């Protein structure tokens, strides 16, 4: 935008001019030069306005790219948060189901010891418990991955985890 307005420049230059070293500091050996200049590109075929439009377009493009980067980052955080929350809910449901499956296996063993059911009923209850334990392990792994993805989406910051009993 500054190219649309005229530019003024003023120059002053003092100098010492003498043909002999002895008269170098006398008043007559002093010389001064003054200059003034005016630069105003009026007749450049609207090149200045076109350059301004290009600069404005680049600025708008950079702003759009910045906004898109922010929106992608927010989307990554939102996705990681929702996956982490879903994993936590699923883990709570699986823990509840695992408690029930353990109780059912214990009841089946007790009933088998009493002669009320066959051993296949005990094996079925045990298989269900093992299946739920596997799902719990897989869900804990997914929760750990999704928590790491959340930390990454938020820009890092890995907390130190305890060796035993780590809960994410």
Question: What domains can you pick out in the chain, each with its CATH number?
Answer: 73-153 (1.20.5)
Q: What is the pLDDT of residue 45?
A: 64
Angle at 98 between CA 146 and CA 145, to 5 degrees: 10
For the cut 70, the answer to whether the pLDDT of residue 22 exceeds it is no
- Give the pLDDT score at 93: 96
Query: In the chain, pLDDT over 90 holds for what percent of residues?
Result: 56
pTM of the model: 0.58
Least confident range of 24-28, 59-63, 146-150: 24-28
Range of lowest pLDDT (2-11, 18-27, 102-111, 145-154): 18-27
Mean pLDDT rounded to a whole number for the chain: 86
The tens digit of pLDDT for each residue in 44-100 reads 767 878 888 999 999 999 999 999 999 999 999 999 999 999 999 999 999 999 999
- pLDDT at residue 5, rounded to an integer: 74
| String of DSSP letters for 62-103 | HHHHHHHHHHHHHHHHHHHHHHHHHHHHHHHHHHHHHHHHHH
């Amino acid at each position: 935008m500054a190219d649309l307005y005229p530019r003024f420049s003023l120059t002053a230059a003092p100098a010492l001019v003498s043909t002999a070293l002895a008269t170098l500091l006398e008043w007559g050996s002093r010389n001064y030069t003054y200059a003034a200049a005016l630069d105003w590109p009026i007749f450049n075929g609207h090149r200045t306005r076109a350059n301004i439009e290009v600069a404005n377009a680049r600025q708008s493009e950079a702003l759009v790219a910045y906004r898109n980067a922010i929106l992608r980052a927010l989307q990554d955080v939102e996705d990681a948060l929702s996956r982490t929350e879903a994993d936590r809910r699923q883990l709570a449901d699986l823990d509840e189901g695992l408690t029930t499956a353990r109780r059912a296996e214990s009841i089946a063993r007790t009933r088998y010891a009493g002669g009320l059911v066959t051993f296949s009923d005990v094996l079925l209850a045990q298989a269900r418990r093992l299946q739920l334990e596997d799902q719990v392990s897989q869900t804990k792994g997914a929760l750990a991955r999704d928590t790491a993805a959340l930390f990454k989406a938020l820009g890092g910051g890995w907390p130190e985890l305890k060796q035993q009993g780590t809960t994410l």
